[in-house]
Structure 1
Amino acid sequence: MAKRAAPGIDTLIARTGLSGKVGFVVADAKTGAVLEAHNPVLKLPPASTTKAITAMYGLKTLGSGYRFVTRVLATGPVQAGIVQGDLVLQGSGDPALDTDQLADLAARLRAAGVRGVSGKFIYDDRALPHLKSIDPGQPEHVGYNPAISGLNLNFNRVHFEWKPASSGWAVTMDARAKRYRPQVQVARMKVVNRQVPIYTYADAKGADQWTVASGALGKGGSRWLPVRRPGEYAAEVFQTLARAQGISLPRAQRAKTAQSGTELARHQSAPLSDILRGMLKYSTNLTAEVVGMSASRRRGGTGASLSASAGQMEDWLKATLGPRHAKFVDHSGLGDGSRISANEMNRALLAAAPDGALKGLMKDVPMRDAKGKVVKGSPIKIKAKTGTLNFVSSLAGYVTTPKGRELTFAIFTADTSKRAQLSRSERERPEGGRSWARRSRGLQAQLVDRWATVYEL
């Protein structure tokens, strides 16, 4: 095969000055023939490219048209607008449920003629286990590491906003969406006169208790914080939204057993294919974990932990797509212990290539030059999933060359030694992390450009 001049692999890697290890494979998407590889069997952390595997797992197990359903049930009849029994808010794990949709559910309940309940208001989040976080090793306050349950809201994050006030600071904690922003009590914030630590967290007095250092607040601002009590969070917000509809509900209690009753109202999520498209675009960790655990439960697993569910995904991967040595500790790639080689990731992408379902869900990744600038009008088309952890960067997916040849590829880079030296508090913005990631992304862009040149036909 004739090849046009392009920098060699060793030259490209050396130019970046990237510490750690590099592994990659590129193959012809139609024949599966490997065109070029470097450390192809070296197992490295996949980071969020794990979500590509999770997407395949969810599609094959649940189906592209699968929808999560959030329901309101009554354990007794409705008489004169009052439920004679308990009212149950029951989730199935919907990872995309937001406050506006919960408000619409409350409006449907009002349209069904409900104004109150004679018994208890119960929330049932038992469709999935309640896990306090995805990765316990992450800093407490990062919004990408929330809790998981069978009843999730706003990606299990609460909006913290602060403004200067005459007496110090005006602070709000709310469950905002586009139309509604109800304040909540399940997550509380106290401003403390200190410089560090910036945040502290405690599970106390029946709520998420946060403190923030006054020295870090500047002139005001906002950020999303993780919610550790997602079922209770959703139930409190629903109670507030129901009150706005003229429905009086007592404080919610968590279901101790699976609940059943007459359905009074429901909210259906978008089809799974749409949810996965959003997950692959925005890299939402909660979505990946919920989809993965839901798929494992459909396959008969207990889904008692992320590692157990991820183990089921490993078994499925071995049985259906070929890779036999991948190790996953979760479905999002956030955890430190997941490992896969570029060769095995590429094999999975090749196996998924014929029907095009995964490629169609992946985001368009713009072609960039070695300095990271977008190359406008580039004839090279990339559909891929990115992945980033501290001193870990990955890219895996599909490339269409200027002359229409389809390629699959996986690129993994990692300096696991540097990563292992980070303390928990350093993980949000480690020294040298940004420059390392920039060099890695530059290498990825140069490799894709090389392949589109050398293997254009």
Structure 2
Amino acid sequence: MTVTRRGLLSGLIGCVAGRALANAPLSSPRPEARAGFVQGSMPVVARAPDALIEAAGLGGEVTYLVADARTGLFLEARQGHRPMPPASTAKAITALYALEHLGAGYRFETRLIATGPVEAGRVQGDLVLVGGGDPTLTTDDLGDLVRALAAAGIRGVTGRFRVWAGALPYIEAIDQSQPVWLGYNPAVSGLNLNFNRVNFVWKRNGSGYEVGMDARAKRFAPKVYSARVTVAERSQPVYSYKNGGRVEEWSVARRALGKGGSRWLPVRRPDLYAGDVFQTLARAQGVELPAPEAADNLPGGTVVAVHRSADLAPILRDMLKYSNNMTAEAIGMAASSRRGVESHLASGQAMGDWLKARADATNARFADHSGLAGASRISAVDMVQALVELGPRAGLKGLLKDIPFHDAKGKRTTAQPARVVAKTGTLNFVSTLAGYVSAPGDTELAFAIFTGDVARRDAVPDAQRERPDGGRDWIRRSKRLQQQLIERWVAVYAA
């Protein structure tokens, strides 16, 4: 008898959509041997998962699947085919996608191009800051480019100072449904700086406030002129925004400021922001440049300085550790550009198509590469298949972060029954976890756990998007459930 992987999988997961595998068969026909994912016996287990889920009281849906990481053998599942919001676990798929299309040693380049010769210390033409899509470019990196420019004897230009951001498609915000002031939802383009965030600083001065914008990094903290902020006599909204073209205009409610502080706000014109900061840094080193102008096309000329990013692998490690959305979008789009994809939306779709072809994913669709968009969906089955089939060859396990265990009081415990390396994901009333478990007896598991109350998430008003009522406690209970499920799997399946 010939059984297809997809047909077998549908039968198996259909059986476990109810309570804790209560109706699952003791064994199932196995497909012909082949490299990659394997389905097989699924033991009937106790009702403990239902009891844990009920005690968590999350509402919405809880789905999961755990498999033998070496063979792909499914061990236990709950609604494994149900598409769920992946939140930031989508970044694990983005990492796999980028590693296949760009390679672990890929490096982004940011260049300075002179469109004419240099005579008497001046470029006879334009100087162009050319972005290569680097998501990690900082103010300090621009400072190093300025230093290289000055070292080459360049002190000015006869033409224009231009910036080019066409290496990647531009989007004004990763998720247009999010409130405009959220720093984790900036623009993305081929020229990015400081994760496309600007630092808003304020300090009480008598009866008023001193406010400003800077682009601080470790060594440099230049004032920013491409964004400005004013204080408004209002209580709500806390922030308002207007894109004025060359200058981004912010206002902040006076009553929200307190004595002083700082906060990163998103940048919507990262090309002009980078040009603004570069011009200020250049002036400080004796290089006079006019105000930056956006270049529609990449001009020809001579490269006079280059900044190269770190290799892709450590960039991905940081992306997965710190869950930076802009990094994920830039890297995902850079990978898609290798396939001729020219838009952000099409890039997410291309990643879903790739996952279907490479890991037989049938319930994955991506609206972005970071998981920030609530429209993205993936099933536990599809996620685990990617971890088992694609993860080992890509070295994904070595890029994921360790997940510590906590006791009932929330304190980190050293009595951890197994090592877990995984990617976490959090949206309002959505909490996800996907990765690997190394347990006693040489047991290696791959798993995905998705919890989400989508209706409750959709009902959160804009004013509470950062801290919705009940959100923190909901996430705490979800993470506790995730740990309990892993502890149970270790107890049941570790030799």
User: TM-score by structure 2 length?
Assistant: 0.89
2:231 and 2:251 in contact (8 A); partners too: yes
1:352 aligns with 2:390: yes
| Higher relative contact order structure (alpha carbons within 8 Å, sequence separation ≥ 6) | 1
Identity %: 56
State the structure with more CA Rg: 2
Q: Which amino acid aligns with 1:247?
A: V
Say yes or no: does 1:315 pair with 2:364: no
Between the aligned partners of 1:43 and 1:358, the Cα distance in structure 2 is 23
Q: CA deviation at 1:175?
A: 0.2
- The AA in structure 2 aligned to 1:422 is V
Whether 2:154 is the aligned partner of 1:114: answer yes
Is 1:189–2:229 an aligned residue pair? yes
Q: Is the 8 A contact 1:370 1:446 kept in 2?
A: no
Post-superposition Cα deviations, 1:102-155, rounded to whole Å, max 9, x if no partner, equal 101110111111111010101011111221100011111110000011100000
The one of 142, 151, 165 equivalent to 1:102 is 142
Deviation larger for 420-429 or 63-72: 420-429
The gaps in structure 1 that reach 5 residues or longer are none
Distance 1:167 1:175 in 2: 27
Aligned to 1:339: 377
> Where does residue 471 of structure 2 map in the other structure?
433
Whole-Å separation in 1 of the counterparts to 2:143 and 2:246: 24
2:4 alignment counterpart: none
Tell me the residue number matched to 2:490.
452
Q: Please, which of 443, 456, 480 is the counterpart of residue 405 of structure 1?
A: 443
Structure 1 residue 364: Cα displacement: 0.9
Shift of 1:285: 0.2
Give me the whole-angstrom Cα distance separating, in 2, the residues matched to 1:119 and 1:255.
13
2:330 pairs with 1:290? yes
Cα distance in 2 for residues equivalent to 1:193 and 1:257 = 43
Give the structure 2 partner of residue 123 of structure 1: 163
Residues 18 and 439 in structure 1, CA contact (< 8 A), matched pair in contact too:
yes
AA aligned to 1:72 is: L
Q: Which residue of 1 aligns with 2:102?
A: 62
The residue aligned with 2:3 is none
* Whole-Å separation in 1 of the counterparts to 2:213 and 2:414: 41
| Count of residues in Structure 1 that have an aligned counterpart in Structure 2 | 453
Q: What does residue 256 of structure 1 align with?
A: 296
Whether the 8 Å contact between 1:109 and 1:265 is mirrored in structure 2 is yes
Point out 4+ residue stretches in structure 1 off by more than 4 angstroms: none
User: Which runs of structure 2 are paired with 1:47-446 in the superposition (5 Å)?
Assistant: 47-166=87-206, 168-204=208-244, 206-302=246-342, 304=343, 306-355=344-393, 357-446=395-484
**CA deviations over 1:360-400 (Å, ceiling 9, x no partner):** 11111112234433222424101100000001000000010
> CA offsets per residue over residues 61-104 of structure 1, 9 Å max, x none?
00000000000000110111100111000001100000011101
Q: CA RMSD in A?
A: 1.5
Amino acid at match of 1:383: V
Using the alignment, how far apart are the partners of 2:81 and 2:329 within structure 1? 26
Contact 1:6–1:454 (CA<8 Å) still a contact in 2? Answer: no
- Aligned residue identity for 1:38: R
**What is the DSSP-based 3-state SS (H/G/I as helix, E as strand, rest coil) of the residue aligned with 1:32?**
coil
Structure 2 gap segments, 5+ residues each: 1-40
Q: Distance in 1 between matches of 2:421 and 2:455?
A: 30
